[in-house]
Amino acid sequence: MLPVAPLFWLLGLLAMSSGLALRVWAGRALGPFYTPTLKVVLGQPVIESGPYWLVRHPGYLATILLWVGFGLVFANWLATLAVAALVAAAFALRIQAEESLLLASFGSEYHRYMSRTWRLLPGLY
């Protein structure tokens, strides 16, 4: 059995590795439609491939995984919880703004997509 600190270190590395892989996968699925700002490009479709078949915001989930993993690697519960809460709160606001934009741009097509996918965590949110 692993001592507690090495177990957190391994879990942290797994979370960080998963976050990086998810971020790359999400970026590749978006292709030329990835932008760091909230905007829709003329002719842009609703992306439903890659990780977008299950969650609407895999890039945000990836960032949360990276930061939680970072906290676990250093076995600092306070930092892990604080960063996770702050990042999640910031992304909750950004997700509201992004989904409002996407609904205004894509209408019923995006509403249909929303009805069959989760925002970040399948089964929870």
Spans of all domains in the chain: 4-32+40-116
Tens of pLDDT, residue by residue over 53-74, are 999 999 999 999 998 898 888 8
Mean pLDDT within 28-51: 90
Which residue reads 């890039």 in tokens?
59
The CATH topology of domain 4-32+40-116 is Four Helix Bundle (Hemerythrin (Met), subunit A) (1.20.120)
Which residue reads 């829709």 in tokens?
40
Q: Which residues of 4-37 are buried (b: 16+ CB within 10 A; e: fewer)?
A: eeeebbeebeebbeebeebbebbeebbeeeeeee
- Residue 61 CB neighbour total at 10 angstroms: 24
Name beta bridge partners: 118. Answer: 55
1, burial (CB in 10 Å: exposed 0-12, middle 13-18, buried 19+): exposed
User: Is pLDDT at 1 greater than 60 in this prediction?
Assistant: no
